[in-house]
Structure 1
Amino acid sequence: MNDRAVLAAMSPVPAGPMRADRPGDGLRAFGLAQLQAAARLLAHRGQARHEGVHEARKCLRRVRALLALAGPRLGTQAITLDAELRRLCRGLSPLRDASALLEALQRLERGGVITANEAALAVAAASARREDRLSAALARDPELVARRRRLQRAAEKLAALDWPAVRCGDLRRGLARSERRLRRAAGRASRHRKNDAAWHRLRRRLRRWRQQNSLLGDIVPALVQHSAAREALAVRLGESQDDALLLARCGGDSPFTPALRRPLRKVARMRLQALRAEPVSVDA
């Protein structure tokens, strides 16, 4: 099946007039549109493929957020689909991490945190690692065709879910679940500030809460919550994640020379400690 046929098979079926108490049509269309976008993004070539992978993973996470929001009403088929999307996301993680490392270094250079010489050497090493990772992935899955076909099958499964059964009450309960999980994660991160897993969990919980509120904006806007504090925390957690990734890449399987690892490790540790020392608040 060629690219055009793959995308056509994944296109959302136009929905009729949407009833406020039956948001299923809008949710289904959103999910299918995200899977279609992910397949299109993975078809990018050349240097655009790096950004395509990043944006495709965002699309997959949005669909997973959607399934978590309405999941209990959709049944075991939604759980199976979520597991497949999680595997797809994880399979793309090495490619995304290689790009994230490069972006973290470029941010440190712009901020004057590392010298121009250190930045040039580090960026060159990270860029080479990124290209090696991409070449290896393309050798196993030329043009990422197998992944795009998996997305087509995922779209077929998503379309077959019982979306008409979803009610606004299901979405309220889904948002409440995300809220509880976010607050528990914030508490754990506050109590265990040196625990990487606790911070990573908080970032995932906050990302899901934000994605769920975002996707509901055009479907059931009355349910949407806004929080400037949470938006600021999301930025902080993103930087913290990049610093943790840089620190990890200064250990085993590092693209950097030993002489370069020392200043990078020092910077990453200092920034990570400073970011995690700030108060953690998920209140509006």
Structure 2
Amino acid sequence: MANEKSPENRPLTGWLSRFAPGVRKIVNRRDTPDNLWIKDPDTGDMLYRTDLEAALWVTPSGRHMRLNAPQRLKVTFDDGLWEEIAPPDVPEDPLKFSDGKPYRDRLSQARKAAGRKDTMAIGVGEIDGVEAVVIVQDFSFMGGSLGMAAGEAFVAAAQEAVKRGLPFVCFTAAGGARMQEGALSLMQMARTTLAIQELKAARLPYVVVLTDPTTGGVTASYAMLGDVHLAEPGALIGFAGPRVIEATIREKLPPGFQRAEYLQEKGMVDRVVPRADLPRTLGLILSMLMDGKRAA
């Protein structure tokens, strides 16, 4: 009929309208977040976002989901408070690189998606009462890839620790070097190593927390040069990925290969620590390495 209402404008009728008169108002809300429910990658169960946040983004199945830089800093520092240190600026796209899409466009897109200028974030605050400089690698920004900006940020953070006489903590998460910066990216492996030597010369602790995933040139440099190496449960840690290794050696890898627990068993990781226990564990380690000195 000509006067028949379209389905989207048809009045709500039946038992639903009698028992829930406000249902149309709820359904039509525009402010409902699209990611209210998050799928557990292990079980497929739908998890309520608020509950997942309260659990520090650890699923009931035990999966430690990836955190972005602000989330990591918030769960690490006491009361979620820290002083932010801005990483230094570096030249953008020095090689005028394009892989079908200009590198500048990729940077712009990544910055818009991640809400930050590059992968590294630096904060200063207390971890279980011990003041420390913390640098976090954000995997959501171009896979946490190591480029000039990341290397410069690491050097600046290490030097800030030396300047303040504080221990230095690094949370790693990376797919490797940033190919769009070529050899300039690989040079950051050497530069970060030299920055760690400055910490050692100042007799300041350098503690690494390996998170999922930590691979490539990051593993081959500052990720494995700590005084103590902690790791989150299930984190993938290695140089090349398991599939690349299997294809190269034409053999099946052992169960759990390159996972945090496997590396602890082989001596490459000192301890695997659940996320909820990390602040307390870091506080104890830093306190011992700093001879019991804590913030006033």
Higher relative contact order (CA 8 A, sep 6+): 1
Give 1 or 2 for the bigger CA radius of gyration: 2
Which structure is higher in strand share? Answer: 2
TM-score by length of 1: 0.28
**TM-score, structure 2 normalization:** 0.27
**Structure in which a larger fraction of residues adopt helix:** 1
